[in-house]
Amino acid sequence: MTEKKILVLGGKGKTGRKVAERLTKKGITVRIGSRTEKLPFDWEDPGTWAAAMEGMDAVYVTFQPDLAVPGAVEVIERFTAQAVKSRVQKLVLLSGRGEKEAQVCEQLVMNAGLDWTIVRASWFNQNFNESFLLDPILAGHVSLPRAEALEPFVDTDDIADVVVASLLDSSHNQQVYELTGPRLMSWQQAIEEISAATKRDIRFEPISIDEYIKMLREHQVPEDFLWLINYLFTEVLDGRNSSITEDIEKVLGRRPKDFTEYVRETGETGVWGPAG
């Protein structure tokens, strides 16, 4: 039996780097899919896809900025066709929970004729320390729309563990998993936990989506990210995801990481400033 070789797209991103680290520790041959690698993979340059997939048994697929954005369906359709040509055996696709537009891309993966696993994730815990919420937290003032929305924030450690299991164990073939944290929280509750853990005064202010988009545009946030934020806060954060699943426990045999544990671990790194 030959050893598996796995291509990890977005191998330096929030989930991709953790998936690559876990696979490497298990002795799996990992190829990082990134524009900056010697053998590059670039979603915007289909000419790079075949070489990156050559000799790979499985691919962890993360699409930037999101599977729901306009044009993603055409890209994923072309990508899955190349995966078949490259004799890839399995695709594990990271998708967004509750994103109907992204489900068109999921169907393309399901119908490609390969083994597959779909991993639909809730909002990442790591958006608070690795993404668009970090700067407002450091500034001590977080303004967000949909303040009333309840979300079961999920940790990228748990996502990575589910992805690795899905890549290596055929029992997860042809499965759709919805990953959530263990409890529902509002944005304000999340910020209050971070404020308490860091012993900093971090204020939360509810604002309208129009005000939020205007503020981001004034900070010169790229338009494609503005489109995505508008989509997520208007379409996805409408209550459809205000529920908890047991899929992490089903796959991993343990409970998902709680937001409080994430805050404690992340606060100890000093990324949010004063503590102790």
What are the tokens at 152?
């079961």
- Token digits of residue 113: 């004729």
For residue 199, pLDDT beyond 90: yes
Give residue 212's identity as a one-letter amino acid code: Y
- Residue 229's CB is within 10 A of a number of other CB atoms, namely 19
Residues 133 and 71: their CA atoms lie apart, in Å, by 26
The mean pLDDT value of the chain amounts to 96
Two tokens, residue 48: 């790079």
Contacts of 168 (CB under 8 A, 6+ apart): 4, 23, 26, 28
Give me the mean pLDDT over the 164-192 stretch: 98
Q: From the CA atom positions of the chain, what is the Rg in Å? A: 19
Pick from 115-119, 158-162, 217-221, 245-249: least confident: 217-221
Q: Please tell me the distance from the alpha carbon of residue 195 to that of residue 265, in angstroms, as a whole number.
A: 14
pLDDT in tens, 4-40: 999 999 999 999 999 999 999 999 999 999 999 999 9
Statement: residue 220 has pLDDT above 70:
yes
- Interval 217-236 mean pLDDT: 91
Question: So what's the pLDDT on residue 3?
Answer: 82
Q: Between the CA of residue 138 and those of 26, 174, 206, what are the distances in Å?
A: 37, 42, 18
In this prediction, residues 185-208 reach a mean pLDDT of 97
Q: Say how many C-beta atoms besides its own lie within 10 A of residue 221's C-beta.
A: 14
State the Cα–Cα distance between residues 39 and 52, nearest whole angstrom: 6
pLDDT confidence of residue 2:
55
Give the C-alpha distances (Å, rounded to integers) separating 146 from 14, 203, 207. 24, 16, 8
pLDDT band per the 50, 70, 90 thresholds, residue 224: confident
Greatest Cα-to-Cα distance within the chain, rounded to the nearest angstrom: 57
| Angle in degrees, CA 66, 69, 75, rounded to 5 | 85
Q: Does domain 5-122+153-181+243-257 have CATH number 3.40.50.720?
A: yes
Average pLDDT over every residue of 200-228 = 94
pLDDT at 225: 87
Residue 20 in tokens = 């690559």
CB 241 within 8 A of CB 166: no
> Average pLDDT of 215-232?
91
pLDDT at residue 1, as a whole number: 39
* Bond prior to 274 in cis (omega within 30° of 0): no
Q: How far is Cα 82 from Cα 60, in angstroms, rounded to an integer? A: 14
Residue 107 clears pLDDT 60, i.e. is over it:
yes
Identity (one letter) of the amino acid at 97? R
pLDDT tens sequence across 138-166: 999 999 999 999 999 999 999 999 999 99
Which strands form 175-179's sheet, in the order they lie side by side?
29-33, 5-9, 58-61, 90-96, 115-121, 175-179
pLDDT band at 275 (very low <50, low <70, confident <90, very high): confident
Q: Are 12 and 34 in contact (CB under 8 A)?
A: yes
**Is the pLDDT score of 276 beyond 80?**
no
Instruction: Please report the pLDDT score of residue 85 as a whole number.
Output: 98
- Tens digit of pLDDT for each residue in 45-74? 999 999 999 999 999 999 998 999 999 999
> Distance of CA 90 to CAs 33, 54, 163, 174, Å?
16, 13, 12, 10
